[in-house]
Amino acid sequence: MNVLQAALLGLIQGLGEFLPISSSGHLLLGRMVMGFTVDESPAYFMLDILLHIGTLIPVIIVFWKDWWAILRNPFKSKTLLLLFIASLPTLVVKVLFDDFIDGAGTGWFLGVSFLMTALFLMLAEIISARKKSSSDQPGFFHAIVMGCMQGIALLPGVSRSGSTLAGGLLSGLNRKSAAKFSFMMSAPAIVGAMLIEGKEALELGYFSQLELLPTLVGIAVAAVSGYLAIRFMLSLISRVSLNWFALYVAILGIGFLLLQLAGFPGVEPFAIPEAVEGALHTVML
């Protein structure tokens, strides 16, 4: 991987993490377009973790007052409690459906995942537009709904920010408050993934497969583009229709499904892997 490729992946991660279009799905598409092989997957698995750390940086910077308030009084902080509650459904989904989620990481489910994101965004836009009043402060119900939506977003191609933003709007939060809490929810999710997946990657020696300069460039680009994406969404969320993002990911989803049906080279066919079938059978039992 060269510096330019790392910068492009960092840009995809930074924008996709906070715009409701799915960073994981776009990273998969980016690798397909760049022609990365299966043999290179361990290195890019590790790079994904580090790029997510890059997008953690702007979350800390933009909401530093909120994080400082949490650090000053962690046991009295309602925000910390809500973030903890919102993280629990994600943990449950990860434990129950880990094999399915890992299997979807090959890209076979990507088209459907993009369409799921489009559906969430359209529903949120329609329902929030019909509500006469909404809350400007997240509560326990909002945290639970947004946490469940974040669990669904573990699937590559389902936007985490889009799903949680939709969950916030569907549960009665106003657009700006839902966006802010959605972005703050990404912090514990990124830290949790870093601890769990980073430990595994370290044990398997994936760090040694990364080149230092491209990795640092990718992280830096992810941090800068992530900062710009957060500022963009916070400033325009009350005026920009989510239907535009829904249209974009719907076109991507349909296009990807058509490529799968056509057997396009380099595109993972739509066929449930045996390991995933076994996992689904176990869960159903």
- Domain ranges for the chain, please list them: 3-284
Q: What is the mean pLDDT of residues 151-164?
A: 93
Most confident listed range (3-12, 40-49, 105-114): 3-12
**Using one digit for the tens of pLDDT, what is the confidence trace for 55-109?**
999 999 999 999 999 999 999 999 999 999 999 999 999 889 888 887 777 788 8
**Distance, first Cα to last Cα, the chain:** 43
Contact 18, 222 (CB under 8 A): no
**In whole angstroms, how far apart are CA 42 and each of 209, 224, 262?**
8, 25, 28
pTM of the model: 0.88
Residue 284 in this model has a pLDDT that exceeds 80: no
pLDDT on residue 250: 97
pLDDT on residue 279: 54
**Using one digit for the tens of pLDDT, what is the confidence trace for 108-155?**
889 999 999 999 999 999 988 887 778 889 999 999 999 999 999 999
CA–CA separation, 217 vs 220, rounded Å? 5
CA–CA separation, 69 vs 91, rounded Å? 25
Q: What is the band of 209 on the pLDDT scale with cuts at 50, 70, 90?
A: confident
